[in-house]
Structures are given as C-alpha cells and as structure tokens.
Structure 1
Amino acid sequence: QHHLPPQTWTNSINQANKMALLAWAKESRIDLVQINGQRRYGAPPPGWVGDPPPAGTEVFIGKLPQDVYENTLIPLFQSVGKLYEFRLMMTFSGLNRGFAYAKYSNRRGAKEAIATFNNFEVREGCAIVVCKSMEKCELSVDGLATSVSRWELEAVLRRVTEGVLSVTLYASPCQKRAQLAVLRYSSHQAAAMAKKTLMEGNMRLGGMEMRVDWLNPDLKQKLQLHEEKPSSSRVQGGKCLGVPKQAPLSPVLRSALDRLNILCWRQYLGTPLFLTKCVQANSNGWLRFWCRVVIPGCPTPFSGFTWVRQNGPGRSGHEEAKVAVALQVLRMLGESL
C-alpha cells in the first residue's frame, strides 16, 4: 500500500495542491512517510542495493514556496540524478516550512542539482536556493548538572533519540558548576531529529535546563584543547536531584517530584528525565501535554498525555505536567501516595 500518513491538515489551506499530491503519490506508487515534522521519501528508495551514499551527496533546498510539495519537487530533482532520499520539512497545517534536503546516490548528482537548480524559478518569481548540505552530525548540550555521568546521559539519549555514536563531557565554558556534552550522531538527519526532539521536549536532566545547538567549530576547537571531564565525577548523596526553581510547589505536589527522584536514586536507576510538549490549549486555561519520563535504569520510558491547568502567573504549565506525570509513574511503580 502506498499512502500518506494521517496528520492534522487544515483543509481550507492549499487544498488543490494537497489533493494533487495525494493523486500523484497514488499514481506513481511513491511512499511518503512523515515523522516528527518532516516527510521523507526513500532512505533507501525501492530497488536500492548496498550501503547508503557517502558524505557530500546531499543538497539543501531553500526558499521554497510553502504550498509546493513532493509531486513537483521529487520529479524535478530526480531529473538530474538518482535520488536516495528526499526530506521535506512540514508544519502541522500541511504547508511546508520552506526548505528540504535531497540526497543523491553519488556526488555527481548533488553537483548537478546545485548547478542546475540554484536560483531556479519553481514558479514565476519564486527562485529557490540549492547548495551543498553541511551534513552536521554533532550537537552541543550546555547546562548539564555536574551530577550527570556520561553513561547516564548516553542511556537517556539512546531512549529518546536514534543514531547516537558517542557522548563526551566537558566542563562548561559558559556556566559555573555545569557540564557541556558533545553528542555525535550517525548522520545529519539523525542529529537534526535529535536536536528537534531535545529542544521541543523541554529537556532537563539533574534539575537544570539544557541548551541544545549545533556544535560550533570554534567551540569544538576550544574543547579539543582541554581534556575530557572525568565522567565519574558526581555529586554524592543525590544533592542535584532537584527540580528547577519556579513558584513554590505545594508540599503534596513537591513530594511527588522528590519521591520519584529519591526512589530512582535509592534503587540506582539514575536521574529521571522529563520531556514535555504542550499539544493543545483550551480557552478555560486547561493545557494538554504529551509527556515522557525516561529513567536510565528502566528498560522502556513512560509516555502518555495529561491535562493540567496553569495555576497562577508564576507557574509553568510544563512544571504542572511534570508533577502530573510523576504521580502517574509513582503509581505505576507501586508507590502508595
């Protein structure tokens, strides 16, 4: 079967082009798969045999009209070389985000695409940009608590992202009493998806908010001049297992977060990682959150949805969601409340 995945499309926006895309996908037997804000063809394409293409075969496509889809773009870019993969970045409304990536079976195809389509008008007055993709594979994560070990961070990353190859910890050059991690992924796509997941998940580990970005070349050179921070240095006694300071929580709610942290610490499970994302807001103040709690010592993460209400201007909806999911995890672990 060849299909487009279910998604929230605003039917009144660009309806004609969306219908044309569906008809083209069915007629051409092209399979498009949407995952976390990007729609992908190939990787590998039908009939592909062997390893993926080497570095230098991917191009970046920018300044796309937001109502243009794969039924126009894939035939266009396929005309200069065999595509291994095509990724179009999407919004929840069903419009594209203005850029895409095309990976060819060899470097010649990528060079032909740049020569042919850079400044090419996909429609009158709409010239696109096509250039070599940087294919960055490394992320920097600054603001990690000093209590977080390399094995703990790596265990968490392997549960919430795919393709992580290595994790290296350094003393943060920007923050006192904090660590910076360099994450290396197997491909640019894996690194980009990890960056999106970590940023949108409002990620905290060891009670501190982390800043996720592509690894800056100057920062990389600076870090290489220093030895890796020993991954075994940890704050003893669970002193860094706290929750980021917001408006004070009530004793009952505060104890839910503390009890989960203490339970994990006592059972040597590692520090819980909370990922929260607001997916719906009602006019009466209720917020619907997708939540995931990753406990390094547990084989699978705890995931689900919860409704919370933001209580007062000093409180974060994300903090309320963490409290709600902490209560649920404690119940699932058999803790009496």
Structure 2
Amino acid sequence: MAQQDLDPELMWINAVNTVNKIALKTWVKTTGINLVQVNGQRKYGGPPPGWVGEGPGCGSEVFIGKLPQDMYEDKLIPLFQSIGKLYEFRLMMTFSGLNRGFAYARYMNRRSATAAITALNGHEIQKGSRIVVCKSTEKCELSLDGLPCLLEQEQLKLLLQSMTTGLVELSLHPSPAKKIELMAVVKYSSHRAAAMAKKKLVEDTQLLCGHPLTVDWLKCDLKQKLCNPSAHALDSRWQINPQPSLCETTASLQCDLLLGAVATLNTLCQRMKFGKPVFLTKFLNLSSCGWLRFWYQVVIPGYVVPFSGYEWFIGENLPVEEKHEKAKEVVALKILTALGYTIG
C-alpha cells in the first residue's frame, strides 16, 4: 500500500466498527494529529522538530499485545503518552480497518519505555481485556540466501554499503538450503536500519543481476547453529572456497588454460549458469619500454558486481584488434586467479 496521509473521508469506506472509526475521525480533527498508513501499519510521530541524528536507541520501544481489535489510536496514544513523550506509535492494521491486536510504542528514551512496561503491563484497557506490554525484540540481523558461490565478502560488503545504511557486520556461510551457493548474515546498527535494508533488498531485483535471492530476518535456530563450533554439518557438503564446486579438478582447469584464459572463463561461467562475460577495454598510454596500460571492466550477468581496474602488457606493435584480444586474455587470467585458482 502506498504511503499516504490518513484522510478519514477516504479511509472509512466500509461499515466495520463504524462507531469507533467516527470517534477516531473526530479525535484526529480535534488534535490535529497526523497518522500515516504504510504497508499494513498506521504510524504516528517520527523525529520531532529539532531532533538531530538517529532515533532513540535500543530498549526505547515496547511491544503492546492483546489489544481489542476494534480499538484505535484515539484511545491508545493518550494512554501511552501519559507515561512519557512518544517518539513514534505504530498500530498494525487489517484490510478491513480493524487492528491486528498489537502495536509498538517508541519513547524518547529507555527510562520511559521501562516505566510503560511497569505501569501498563496487565492494564485493563476495557472491561475484560488486559493488555500485554513488554520490551520489543528489536531484530538487527538479516540472512541473504542464494548468493553466488564466487562471491567475495568484501565485494558484497561494498555493494550493501552502497544500497543500505547502518551495516555493522557481515559474514558468509555455505547456504543451508541451496547447493553450491552462499548465505550471508548481515548485522545492522538498529532494528530500523535492518528493516529499511530488508525492504530495499527485497524490492531491488537487480541486486544480483536477476539472480534469485531470499532475504529474511535471521532465525534463532540458524543463528545458534552458525555460532556453535561443533555444528558444522553445512561445511561437510563443501568448503567456502568455491574451487571444488566450480570445476571438476584444478588439473582440468589448467588443461583448459591451454585453450586460453578467455575460453576457460567462458566455460566456467557456462558451467555455473552465470551467462557469458562481457569485456570492455580502453587503452590509455604507452610507456617508454613498450608497455601498454589499459582500463578494463568485465560484466558477468549472474555475478554480483563487475570486475574492473587497470593492467599492463607488452604489445606496442600489435594491430588494434589483437591488442584488445591480448588485453582480454590478461584480464581473464587475472579474474581466474582472483577466484582462487593456482595457475600453473
């Protein structure tokens, strides 16, 4: 659902819970409060005027459960504001306009959140209905499953830093579900940063040039398995070093190199179903000793990021076409070496 300001004249189009919807409409007009509908939740607040930097830190948000589904912000926000100033309030909504039975209240500081738990947990919000108020579990870790096994940790880190904010830690592991692929565990500085990253990564289908990727919150059981040194059943299938999974043997790769580095790289990409590499080369200058310096970029459709940089070779007297072919060989050999192969 697209983000939009809550317009009572447009939102209340059905007859479900009409009385309470009218009460909310009146409250919104009277208080001038702004509510925003965003992807299944209705939000109040955010950074107040004059607020600088990140939002309130860990421990400042509380989870509110067992809410009557016909209850809205006109009853809930004043109640939780009576404990301390709210930074944000989020009520989870159904398509019918009822709430989903839970909400989140973020205070300006941890002290107010603790006070809200003490004062309101078990509070009888209406006759026969007692709510649950407890510390919100603020997840900060994502799992990215289905990454290409050629992927290097530093390449993924640079890519994620360019797309998201608040990245703290990143590690690569064999995928628990997908053969010869990788899973990344990515930790962010806050739940909000992680949630925004998750949304971005789910929506951006170009992250891996169309390569299917599963993005989810890191499950507790999987985290425990990864943290347990004795639980390495995943590692018995193959090592993180992709060499055994990308070709039958190192010897067969060395034999392939007799055909040329470009042909070998093409074969490797074909085996891994990555698509044919596309080479771009541009010559820059010639040294006094006859060395040609050139810029290159190699795009492999199924790989996470392109390879690029600068290289040299001796070829002053070669025709232009042969110079480019020689440059491609130099670059292909460099890429194969970077992927962990010993070229003999």
TM-score (normalised: structure 2): 0.58
Alignment of 1:110 onto 2:113: yes
Contact 1:4–1:22 under 8 Å retained in 2: no
Partner of 1:55: 58
Q: Quick one: structure 1 residues 74 and 167, their matched pair in 2 at CA, closer, same or farther if it must change by over 3 Å?
A: same
Please, which of 109, 132, 135 is the counterpart of residue 132 of structure 1? 135
CA distance in 2, matches of 1:16, 1:224: 59
Q: Quick one: structure 1 residues 67 and 107, their matched pair in 2 at CA, closer, same or farther if it must change by over 3 Å?
A: same
User: Map of 1:54-93 to 2, 5 A cutoff?
Assistant: 54-93=57-96
Q: Quick one: structure 1 residues 57 and 156, their matched pair in 2 at CA, closer, same or farther if it must change by over 3 Å?
A: closer
Moved more, 126-135 or 137-146: 137-146
SS of equivalent to 1:23: helix
Q: Quick one: structure 1 residues 184 and 113, their matched pair in 2 at CA, closer, same or farther if it must change by over 3 Å?
A: same
User: Map of 1:240-255 to 2, 5 A cutoff?
Assistant: 240-241=272-273
Partner of 1:335: none
CA distance in 1, matches of 2:71, 2:228: 42
Please, which of 3, 6, 22 is the counterpart of residue 19 of structure 1? 22
User: Which residues of structure 2 form unaligned runs of 5+?
Assistant: 247-264, 281-296, 307-344
CA distance in 2, matches of 1:177, 1:63: 44
Shift of 1:174: 5.3
Q: Quick one: structure 1 residues 91 and 106, their matched pair in 2 at CA, closer, same or farther if it must change by over 3 Å?
A: same
CA distance in 1, matches of 2:279, 2:20: 54
Shift of 1:75: 0.7
Please, which of 39, 42, 47 is the counterpart of residue 39 of structure 1? 42
Contact 1:87–1:100 under 8 Å retained in 2: yes
- The C-alpha deviation readout for 1:216-263, integer Å capped at 9, x for no partner, is 241452389999957999966444456xxxxxxxxxxxxxxxxxx669
SS of equivalent to 2:48: coil
Partner of 2:224: 218
Q: Quick one: structure 1 residues 172 and 263, their matched pair in 2 at CA, closer, same or farther if it must change by over 3 Å?
A: closer
Output the aligned Cα RMSD. 4.3
Q: Quick one: structure 1 residues 75 and 83, their matched pair in 2 at CA, closer, same or farther if it must change by over 3 Å?
A: same
CA distance in 2, matches of 1:118, 1:154: 44
Q: Quick one: structure 1 residues 4 and 152, their matched pair in 2 at CA, closer, same or farther if it must change by over 3 Å?
A: same
Structure with greater helix share of residues: 2
Partner of 1:190: 193
Shift of 1:30: 1.6
Contact 1:152–1:270 under 8 Å retained in 2: no
CA distance in 2, matches of 1:215, 1:78: 33
Please, which of 169, 173, 182 is the counterpart of residue 170 of structure 1? 173
The aligned amino acid for 2:73 is E
Q: Quick one: structure 1 residues 208 and 218, their matched pair in 2 at CA, closer, same or farther if it must change by over 3 Å?
A: same
The aligned amino acid for 1:107 is R
TM-score (normalised: structure 1): 0.59
Partner of 2:6: 4
CA distance in 2, matches of 1:163, 1:5: 34
The aligned amino acid for 1:222 is N
Q: Quick one: structure 1 residues 210 and 4, their matched pair in 2 at CA, closer, same or farther if it must change by over 3 Å?
A: same
Contact 1:169–1:179 under 8 Å retained in 2: yes
Aligned residues: 256
Contact 1:203–1:209 under 8 Å retained in 2: no
The aligned amino acid for 1:221 is C
Shift of 1:113: 0.8
Q: Quick one: structure 1 residues 174 and 113, their matched pair in 2 at CA, closer, same or farther if it must change by over 3 Å?
A: same
User: Which residues of structure 1 form unaligned runs of 5+?
Assistant: 243-260, 274-294, 298-337
Q: Percent identity?
A: 47
CA distance in 2, matches of 1:50, 1:204: 28
Q: Quick one: structure 1 residues 64 and 147, their matched pair in 2 at CA, closer, same or farther if it must change by over 3 Å?
A: farther
Contact 1:156–1:296 under 8 Å retained in 2: no
Contact 1:137–1:184 under 8 Å retained in 2: yes
Shift of 1:130: 0.7
CA distance in 2, matches of 1:97, 1:203: 33
Contact 2:225–2:231 under 8 Å retained in 1: no
SS of equivalent to 1:113: helix
Contact 1:182–1:215 under 8 Å retained in 2: no
- The C-alpha deviation readout for 1:66-118, integer Å capped at 9, x for no partner, is 22222111111111111111122223333222221111112221111111111
